[in-house]
Structure 1
Amino acid sequence: MFIGEYQHSLDTKGRVIIPSKFRDELGDVFVMTKGLDNCLFVYPMEEWNILQNKLKTLPLTKKDARAFVRFFFSGATECQLDKQGRILVPSNLRKHSDITKEVVIIGVSNRLELWDRERWDEYNTDADLNYESIAEKMVELGI
């Protein structure tokens, strides 16, 4: 399980260090793709395969389903850590997430999310986003 928040910088070649705490759980090969809220999602292969299988069951006849699958898979790329524990963030994914220099890497249960630091700070201070109101809505979902 991925938990925690870490701050790193993108180097001049577009690489970022993945915290050592996450490396073993990611495995040798993993997948990075466009995430929601303009972040990037990073999945271990096992989790990616589970998600991929679920997405395969979406009806091809539904426009929203086709659009989401296109969005999700078109940005996907297999990644490997280099000897220093870094991954290359492809330019199309850096553009999607507005990541230019400062990167926040957060653990979100079965995946990592990579955020531009300014965007992450904005997300956390958004007037509509406060912990108490989110918690109240989780009750409606049975959590």
Structure 2
Amino acid sequence: MENRVEERLKQLGIVLPTAGNPAASYTNYVIVNGLMFVSGKGPAGHPKGKLGQEYTTSEGQYFARLAGIEVLAVLKDALGSLDHVRRVVKIQGFVNAAPDFEEHHKVLDGCSDLMLDVFGEKGVHARSVLGAVSVRDNLPIIVDSIFEVRV
């Protein structure tokens, strides 16, 4: 029997990649008391550059969506099924931005909209977004996330 969330991914045309390995001395996730903390993920393909400099807001939204897909890959790898996600609790974005860039919130919509598309009402979440002078590997965005899960 097909999982509901994975069926939704197919409808959206999303194929999850293999969960990437951490970039340093940490783990992809930790589960504590039903909350799953997913380590920061960047967009697939590892584009480099700043929003408001090398990239536009709409390109940043696309990168945020790709980072969200990386987060979903970690969830699937850890839980076996995305149906074990009870809700998206919080999404936090770190936008690698030029000093005068002011649309950080619009960039993170790429990830937030993905979570709503995939999980429906369970995808409604709290969030925060910060501009950063630099991030690892000069990625345009890194997404940090928290989920309530059934384990």
TM-score by length of 1: 0.27
Q: Tell me which structure has the larger Cα radius of gyration.
A: 1
